[in-house]
Chains A and B, each alone.
Chain A
Amino acid sequence: MTDQTGDEDDIMIRAEGVTRAFGKNRVLKGVDLAIRRGESRVVIGGSGSGKSVLIKCLIGLIPADGGRIVIDGIPLSHATRSEVMRRVGMLFQGGALFDSLPVWENVAFRLLRGEDERVDRARARAIAIEKLARVGLGPETADLYPAELSGGMQKRVGLARAIAHAPSIIFFDEPTTGLDPIMAGVINRLIRSIVSETGATAVTITHDMVSVRTIADRVSMLHEGVIRWTGPVERLDDPGDPYVAQFVRGAPDGPIRVEGAA
């Protein structure tokens, strides 16, 4: 099953033949994606399959070696950093909070220090506290430092930071990895509600099948450097592809060979 093609105006993120290698390690071998405006796409794939590299290529954090990427109608090769980043919010796998800054300055970082639209400190703090509330954190967390927070709280602060400027595209890199199942459920529900509330296009990377079912409209599987399968989330249990089926069931035996499997 391949990605849908559609009216070009309708596509928020398009990738065609994107390649990227690190030395001899060819991580992306020609990735094609077409993600519609307002869609919540989840990309699944094994650890080390290049999911993080892929989303970093999509916004130019890692330059692709080849292929074409178009974001919101602008070819990435012609876009300035700020044109891209104004549209983008990203939740990083480890949170990537700045440990020398209190929580609220993390959330309001772009409003205080970014090169686009800045606001004064009082206004930035008010926005930060509002965004913290949106992710379920009270104003008492505003003046804590990242090191004082639990993993789940760090993820939430990262989430608040990613949505602080109302981006039209939000990337989530393994939002539930390292969290207990309940906290993972909380984060999944937050992501789902934020995405539907803001109407933003969302791209989530995960190998947590609960996340996939909570968050996704459509699912793509990255395997051996290409998008092997794309389909609606309802098709996951009957994907018609043995690789996807094995991944979804978490079966040790199947076409996907894993090192160390008997």
Chain B
Amino acid sequence: MNPLAAIGRSTLAFLAGTGRIAIFGSRGVAALFRPPFYWREFLRAFLFIGYYSLPVVGLTAIFTGGALALQTYAGGARFNGEQIVPSIVAIGIVRELGPVLGGLMVAGRVASAIAAEIGTMKVTEQIDALVTLSTSPLKYLVAPRLVAATLALPLLVAVADILGIFGGWMVSITRLDFNSAVYLRNTVDFLENGDVISGLVKAAVFGFIIALMGCYQGMHSGRGASGVGRATTLAVVTASVLILATNYILTEFFFSV
């Protein structure tokens, strides 16, 4: 075994996979611009992704906001900067933790569900059936899910932002002796539109990634139940890694503008 050959092989495989996903994604987007658009599928996906993810995303945000307040307080106390808690909590949640943790939680829940649903359709020949019924799987299955996730994630993250800040506020006024009104005024004064917008743009991109990976892995599912299981796992793993990598790139971008 030549280790260099192994590295070369996996690099090539990685690039080929990235290329295939990119092609699949652009065909999915292109399908949006050719009628018909399947509104019922879109609404079903939107409800599933947006509404039913609210509890998990909301709880994640509340606990993260609370923990962030404590940690920031611990750090701030070392240079008499405890009053920094509201602004750090707000910025941390809105710019970074809301979209990233929300994205990862939704990836776990939604990318897997999409991959399992489409993968099952693939192995039970339902995708073939769609084609024989003069229906494009890209238009019927992929495009509505891409749109639904891209629109639902910013809404979810907006809720997560509010709940995360709420979590930080709760902990700060009950455990850290902050004055409620002062805390809230600090938060509002400190946050800028750009913070919120950059977080919501991230969320939209993450939503797209989640649906893309769910659809891609489902459509390329191997045969049998094990194939679907593998597709489901791959969807969550690839979506999560892509979210974290894209998050860094987007953060760099917003950092420099």
Beta-carbon contact of A81 and B124 below 8 Å = no
Chain A residues closer than 8 Å to B128, beta-carbon distance: 56, 61, 90, 92, 96
Beta-carbon contact of B133 and A61 below 8 Å = no
Query: Looking at B121, B126, B132, B135, which has the most chain A CB atoms within 10 Å of its CB?
Result: B132
Interface membership of chain A positions 68-103, coded 1 if the CB is closer than 8 angstroms to chain B and 0 otherwise:
000000000000011001101110111011101000
Whole-angstrom distance from the CB of B184 to the nearest CB of chain A? Answer: 45
Interface range, B side: 10 to 19
**Given known contacts A96-B129, A115-B36, A110 and B134 CB-to-CB distance under 8 angstroms:** yes
Chain B residues closer than 8 Å to A109, beta-carbon distance: 133, 135
Interface membership of chain A positions 196-222, coded 1 if the CB is closer than 8 angstroms to chain B and 0 otherwise:
000000000000000000000000000
A59 within 8 A of B: yes
Beta-carbon contact of A96 and B125 below 8 Å = yes
A254 within 8 A of B: no
- Tell me the complex Cα distance, A71–B14, Å: 39
Whole-angstrom distance from the CB of A25 to the nearest CB of chain B? Answer: 13
How many A residues, CB 8 Å from partner? 24
Whole-angstrom distance from the CB of B153 to the nearest CB of chain A? Answer: 23
Beta-carbon contact of B126 and A98 below 8 Å = yes
- Tell me the complex Cα distance, A161–B129, Å: 10
A-B contacts, 29 of them at CB < 8 A, read A56-B128, A59-B132, A61-B128, A61-B131, A61-B132, A81-B131, A85-B131, A85-B132, A85-B133, A90-B128, A90-B129, A90-B132, A92-B125, A93-B125, A96-B124, A96-B128, A96-B129, A98-B126, A109-B135, A110-B134, A113-B38, A113-B133, A113-B140, A114-B133, A114-B135, A115-B36, A115-B134, A116-B134, A161-B133
